[in-house]
Structure 1
Amino acid sequence: MFSDALSDLLAPLARAMVAHGVTVGAVTESMKVALLNAAIEAQGEDVSDSRVSVMTGLHRKDVRRLRSDAPMTDGRKTANRLALLIGHWATAPDFLGENDRPRALPRDISSEGPGFDDLVRHVRLDAAPGTMRRALLDHGAVTEDDDGRLHLVTNALVPGAGSKELVAAYRATLTTHMTAATQNLLAAPTETRHFDRVVKYSHLSDGSVAELEALARAESQALLERLNARARELQDRDADQGVHGRFAAGAYVLPEQDTKKDTE
């Protein structure tokens, strides 16, 4: 039964909740919102409060209250904008220099090509260049030299420990993976399923775990960089066609050292 799997599925989330001081009251409220949204997605916006109550077990007064509440704000915007900006800077030919490395960018266009303000406008972030510049500096993703040029020091956004952006990244990556896995779980026999695979091995030495971790990191990073470059090219090509298709791909590595040897 699916309900038997819930404890395992919720265990990592529970650890994060405890670490962030999230109590059962807040968890319950979030679950109510999720159940309501799932029922509406399944039955349509016109589904009655009574029907939602039957489907989810929510009390009708909770359904009415939640439906009248203002939608929750999405805290992922800043992280998404920074990731898009860094990804474009690292792959778009206009912003690359020698050896196809991201070149240092002045604020405005120069003899070398477009500047940072042009980059922000090209990515269509709906944010002021000055705001994005400050955010990149605050996150340590860029440095600024004495001439005011910005140097990209990372090809991916790595939020700082405890930051709002780290929570946003946690939310975005887990939501995307869980969405793909859930759609596979619910897919009809005739429907195409998303690619979702994992390689798991046990009885490995710490050295073997470290070797596999290094290999997985390098291969995954190379794949994601290739996908990012091609996705940016395709997005530039499709940008003026009024299309809204989405694509997401991710990778994770979970090495675990041998802890039993220390207790034997």
Structure 2
Amino acid sequence: MNEVRNTMSTGPKDPFEAALADLLIPLAQAMVARGVTIGTATEALKKALVTAAVDASDPPPNDSRVSALTGLHRKDVKRLRAEETEAPEKRSCSAAALVIGYWATAPEYQDKSNQPRDLFRKSADRQPGFDDLVKQTRIDMAPGTVLQTLLDQKLVVKQENGTYRLLTQAFVPTAGSAEQVAAYRATLSAHLAAATHNLLADDETPRHFDRAVRYSHLTAESVEELRDISAQKAQVLLQDINAKARQLQDRDQDGNQNGRFVVGAYILPKLPPNKEG
């Protein structure tokens, strides 16, 4: 047996246990679609439990303590704690999004009509080039690697005169790509982390902003109207925050830059079934 069985609880059932299945259904849908089996999922869950147990303890717990907290065998705990997970796709996704954000908002990369201007790889005519843009974002990746990611994702195109043109102001990776998986991972993990903080926070702990508007009994036309207006307003908000965040990061370059900030938006329209025919 790989897991340690806990004694049966005689207290009331935690409502979180009932919520867990619903929370996992969207992940299960993605797993089935991408051919992820129970073995792979179990290994990922074990790794997550070990990480959570270690993060929740100060000082760091020994393997026996982690085993007691998670129900995992000590052999699994020891093995999982020794593993290091690398995520190059996540790094390239974050780097590409940051570069697009700078390109779309920084004044030195705008043309006379306040649109992202075409860039050469190197600076020309006293104007910074793409390599300067990557350096300004201070990401730990080579400019050529970031550029190739943007080209592969069809977010940037090379012009006949040798310049590169930004085609979008948002990083929307190609469907099914490694970068889309990385974006899926980054977006959902951030939202889930905020919601989990709020779930576990005591009365003295400030909670993160996490709100949603939900309506039912709508026609398909009303759902589409709400989708359109929500998308427009959310895009404006995100672009405004992106521009402000870029300005603040430039201002903070001489200070302690360990702070991180994430803001997101999602829209989930569910059209009523078509009963015609």
Structure 1 or 2: more helix by fraction:
1
Counterpart in 1 of 2:266?
252
AA aligned to 1:38 is A
User: Quick one: which of 69, 91, 103 aligns to 1:55?
Assistant: 69
Partner Cα separation in structure 1 for residue 218 and residue 127 of structure 2: 51
Counterpart in 2 of 1:188?
202
AA aligned to 2:260 is R
Partner Cα separation in structure 2 for residue 129 and residue 66 of structure 1: 34
Superposed displacement of residue 45, structure 1 = 5.4
Counterpart in 2 of 1:88?
102
User: Quick one: which of 94, 111, 121 aligns to 1:97?
Assistant: 111
- 2:191 corresponds to 1:177: yes
Alignment partner of 1:29: what SS?
helix
AA aligned to 1:89 is W
- 2:155 corresponds to 1:141: yes
Q: Percent identity of the aligned residues? A: 51
User: Quick one: which of 203, 223, 228 aligns to 1:209?
Assistant: 223
What are structure 1's unaligned runs of at least 5 residues? none
> What is the 5 A alignment of 1:92-171?
92-111=106-125, 113-171=127-185
Counterpart in 2 of 1:12?
26
AA aligned to 1:107 is R
C-alpha offsets along residues 64-115 of structure 1, whole Å, 9 cap, x if unaligned?
A: 22122x2111230011110000000000000011221101112222236211
Partner Cα separation in structure 2 for residue 46 and residue 192 of structure 1: 25
Partner Cα separation in structure 1 for residue 58 and residue 45 of structure 2: 19
- 2:67 corresponds to 1:65: no
Alignment partner of 1:43: what SS?
coil
Alignment partner of 2:275: what SS?
helix
TM-score relative to the length of structure 1 = 0.95
- 2:55 corresponds to 1:41: yes
CA separation of 1:64 and 1:133: change in aligned 2, threshold 3 A: closer
What RMSD, in angstroms, separates the aligned Cα atoms of the two structures?
1.4
Partner Cα separation in structure 2 for residue 112 and residue 64 of structure 1: 56
Alignment partner of 1:127: what SS?
coil
Partner Cα separation in structure 2 for residue 48 and residue 29 of structure 1: 20
AA aligned to 2:86 is T
TM-score relative to the length of structure 2 = 0.91
Aligned residues: 262
Dislocated runs of 4+, deviation >4 Å: none
Alignment partner of 2:113: what SS?
helix
